Copies of this chain bind each other. A is one copy, B any other.
Amino acid sequence: MNLPPLIQTFVLHFGEMGSRWGISRTVGQIYALLFLSPEPLNADQIVQQLGFSRSNVSMGLKELQAWNLVRLQHLPDDRRDYFTTPGDLWEILRTLAEERKKREVDPTLTMLRDVLMQTPSTDVERHAQARMQDMHDLIELLTRWYDDIHRIEPSRLAQLLSLGAKVQKIFEVKDWLTGGGPERTGRSVPAAPADTGDTTDTTR
């Protein structure tokens, strides 16, 4: 491997991290390299920079394509395949979430629904099903939230995220408007809407 130290650190780190996730060290490093590269790279350039075998790089690129994490493109007068990662990090994040959901969450949800259909014959099974029902409901709540949220455009989403726990105040507005006292907060008089307006000033 022959890389500027700064880049090498990043690439090696992602190699290690890759193993913690489902992907191999090679795939992690290839991705990291592409992520940092100012321009598209072809397989031989990756081989040259990371020192893996040509076939390994080919496999790795195939896997990254299966994950939709990498884009294939062609340069004029060059028939080799060149690869890049999207420039927009939010897009990368969305892809990552999407793919992990597809591979981990959806199958689990299917399996849970399947098992929840069956009729338990013992108390132990009944208890197990109750646990699975809880898990199912939580996962469904989270995925519904995700499906809803992931379409919000990045800049607004960033705004929303930096709001953090302050979004809770939305309930205070609601309580205030509906005349019902707050049920869970310690405050006896909830903040007025004007207060909520303040909370949206989130440029830290």
Q: Does A186 contact B (CB under 8 A)?
A: no
For A66, the chain B residues whose CB sits under 8 A away are none
Q: Please indicate the chain B residues that have their CB under 8 angstroms from the CB of A114 in the complex.
A: 9
Counting contact residues on chain A (CB < 8 A from B), the size range is: 35 or more
Which of chain B's residues have a CB closer than 8 A to the CB of A59?
Answer: none
Give which listed residue, B90, B122, B151, B193, contacts A173 with CB less than 8 A: B193
Cα of A167 to Cα of B7 in the assembled complex, Å = 39
* Whole-angstrom CA separation of A157 from B151 in the bound complex: 20
Q: Are A131 and B35 in contact (CB under 8 A)?
A: yes
Question: Would A167 and B165 count as touching, CB distance under 8 A?
Answer: no
Q: Is A24 an interface residue (CB 8 A)?
A: no
Q: Which of B20, B120, B162, B194 has a CB less than 8 Å from the CB of A104?
A: B20
Residues in B neighbouring A5, C-beta threshold 8 A = 118
Cβ–Cβ contact B135 & A89, under 8 A: yes
| A170 and B168 form a contact (CB under 8 A) | no
